[in-house]
Structure 1
């Protein structure tokens, strides 16, 4: 990545087709506002991953944020836009290791699948509410706790 003079470059990839365009616009503006609060000089590009024929080159960004979405990543076959995004994730991991990749909800599942993990349905059904998550060794050291009670809304 070439040095940037005007601030970090951030790509937000929207992974849903908005049924309410105003809501989608407000959500992307909220992400952008939060980024600018922590990095006022950041250059933020919002890309609709579902409708864009081509996704950005990961090496051109300091951070790529993958939003939530509704496509079921537990299915063996994926739609072309999902495959483009999985390719972007693999390219980012292989060729742009200095670019940070942040997966939110569906985006996290996409990262797992793209890098060889599995996305499966939760055998106990949907999870909604506060639930304890056991921490790894690094997590225990960082939070000084064995587990955290986090908000969950999961279908898979």
Structure 2
């Protein structure tokens, strides 16, 4: 029997209070996504949803703790409210660790939103604010031909929550898709990493809570909020994206 897939979740933030109380950190949020995705993959001989995943958690912000690359099969970099382009000591340490993981010939990486941007930064391209502003709630991601092959569909719908972007594709990276507000929606290097700018892990109640809180604090206007809340509960491809992640991690 295949040994469990050892996935280290690098928690780059703490969820908002209500979400944190329910899921116990982004480790919990991603554990739900990955187990649901393993069930959707429906290949128990390759990956048993109950016993085939060994998901560890690492606080890279306050504790700045990291797994030894020899001890894991995959690194998952989560989203974050922090800015991927800033030079806080923990972000610089994260970028350096990411460079080492990319250079490892065995370990694979998954980058989500902030994590997608950190991988872009580690590869030497500009990350920062988008001139197009916020991209929020369920949006279409137009796939490239390689993106269609990788995800097995013509287009993706994915939850979004960002105003920062990767400004260009790094060298030797396969573009996966784009949207009107973000040209670099996903990056792929076979055998090395898959990233998405969106949030396949966000459930309806997670994105709704974030929108509500950010509206109350004045980050989003009433118009932005009404539009985003309407799309927050639209059907999306989060689990299908998670299944693609798992297939990628299982490849020899």
The answer as to 2:84 corresponding to 1:87 is: no
| 2:223 match | none
| Contact 1:55–1:84 under 8 Å retained in 2 | no
CA distance in 1, matches of 2:64, 2:22: 23
Please tell me whether residue 10 in structure 1 is matched to residue 7 in structure 2.
yes
Q: Distance in 1 between matches of 2:52 and 2:145?
A: 35
Q: Distance in 2 between matches of 1:46 and 1:115?
A: 24
Residue 113 in structure 1 maps to residue 121 in structure 2: yes
The match for 1:97 is: 105
Flag as ranges the 4+ runs of structure 1 deviating above 6 A.
Answer: none
> Which residue of structure 2 aligns with residue 52 of structure 1?
63
Q: Distance in 2 between matches of 1:134 and 1:57?
A: 36
Q: In the comparison of the two structures, how many residue pairs are matched?
A: 149
Partners of 1:153 and 1:19 in 2: CA distance? 13
Give, in whole Å, the separation in 2 of the partners of 1:101 and 1:68: 14
CA pair 141-32 structure 1, distance change in 2 beyond 3 A: closer
Does the CA-based 8 Å contact 2:14-2:25 persist in structure 1?
Answer: no
**C-alpha deviations, 1:19-53, integer Å up to 9, x for none?**
63525615422322444553423322111110224
Q: Give the TM-score taking structure 2 as reference length.
A: 0.51
Normalising by structure 1, what TM-score? 0.78
Determine the structure 1 residue equivalent to 2:28: 29
Per-residue deviation at 1:130?
4.1
| 1:138–1:98 Cα change, 3 Å | same
The answer to whether the 8 A contact 2:14-2:26 is kept is: no
Q: 1:62 and 2:59 equivalent?
A: no
Structure 2 counterpart of 1:133: 141
- Residue 4 of structure 2 contacts residue 53 of structure 2 at CA under 8 Å; is this kept in 1? yes
Cα distance in 1 for partners of 2:136, 2:111 equals 19
Q: CA-to-partner distance for each residue in 1:101-153, whole Å, 9 max, x for gaps?
A: 011111111111111121121112112244443322312445453x5454332
Q: Which runs of 5+ in 1 are unaligned?
A: none
CA deviation profile, 1:61-112 (whole Å, cap 9, x unmatched): 111111111221234xx11111111111100111x22212011111111111
Gaps of 5+ in 2: 39-47, 165-252
Tell me the distance in 2 between the aligned counterparts of 1:151 and 1:27: 16
